[in-house]
Amino acid sequence: SLSPLNVTTEVKSIEKRHKQLEKHNPGDNVSFDAKDVSVKDICRESVASDSKNDPAKEAASFNAQVILNHTSQIGASYAPPVLD
C-alpha cells in the first residue's frame, strides 16, 4: 500500500541504482517498480508498506534522532535544509 494515496499495488522489483536487488538492508536508498502506479502520483511524503502485514498508519507525532554530518559550526537558530 502507498499512503497517503490509499493505493494498493504489487511491487515488481526492488532496485538500487537501476539494478535489481535480491537483498537490501536498513538504511539502503532503494527504489521499487510498482504495478499500475505512475511516479508522478508519488510524493516525498508517500509511505510504502505491506497492506496484509502490519500496514503503516498515520502518527499524530513521533520522536526522531537526527544525526548530521556537518562540516561547519552549528549554532543557535540553525535550520538545516531537510528534504531539499
Do the beta carbons of residue 35 and residue 10 sit within 8 Å?
yes
Tens of pLDDT, residues 7-62:
888 888 888 888 888 888 888 888 888 888 888 888 777 788 888 888 888 888 98
User: Of 28, 30, 29, 32, which is closest to residue 12 (Cα–Cα)?
Assistant: 32
pLDDT for 72: 74
Domain locations in the chain as residue ranges: 2-48
The amino acid present at 51, given as its one-letter code, is: S
Q: What pLDDT, on a 0 to 100 scale, did the predictor assign at position 35? A: 86
According to the model, what pLDDT value does residue 83 have?
53
CATH of 2-48, one of 2.40.30.10, 3.40.50.2000, 1.10.10.10, 3.40.50.720: 2.40.30.10
Helices (H), the chain: none
Backbone region of residue 54 per phi and psi (left: phi > 0; alpha: psi in -120 to 50; beta: other values)? left
